[in-house]
Amino acid sequence: MANNAMALDSIFHALADPTRRAVIQRLSRGPATVGELAEPFNMALPSFMKHVGVLESTGLIRSRKRGRIRTCTLERKKLAAAERWFADQRAIWASRYQNLDSLLETLTGEDRES
């Protein structure tokens, strides 16, 4: 459980940055070179590579170097872990809201009977 929590922490840390979220969003459409990924951002390539490094270290992306070209690919399985966490949270809160709705119906029904 602790390893799963640590993995989620690193995924959410990586996704907390807008540049890294944009990279993930772009890679959801298919592989891209680092140059293509860096193009929309106003930053030096070494700075952009730090973002790529964070995404790679969490396993959200994978890169492969062929000659001087580095191509990045999205690792969808890692994103699935975050999606599962959100789904679990949604289910917990939906249950809580349902319980609250039931309680309110019971209380409202008791008020009408009085």
pLDDT in tens, 26-77: 999 999 999 999 999 999 999 999 999 999 999 999 999 999 999 999 999 8
Question: By the 8 A CB rule, do 48 and 37 touch?
Answer: yes
pLDDT (average), residues 5-32: 94
Domain extent, residue 25, equals 2-113
Question: Is pTM beyond 0.85 here?
Answer: no
Render 48-109 in DSSP notation, one character per residue.
Answer: HHHHHHHHHHHTSEEEEEETTEEEEEE-HHHHHHHHHHHHHHHHHHHHHHHHHHHHHHHHHH
Q: Is 38 helix (H, G, I), strand (E, B) or coil?
A: helix
Say which CATH number the domain at 27 has: 1.10.10.10
Residue type, position 21, single letter: R
The tens digit of pLDDT for each residue in 74-99 reads 999 888 888 888 887 888 888 788 87
Domain total for the chain? Answer: 1
The tens digit of pLDDT for each residue in 100-114 reads 888 888 888 766 665
* pLDDT the model gives residue 81: 84
Render 46-62 in DSSP notation, one character per residue.
Answer: HHHHHHHHHHHHHTSEE
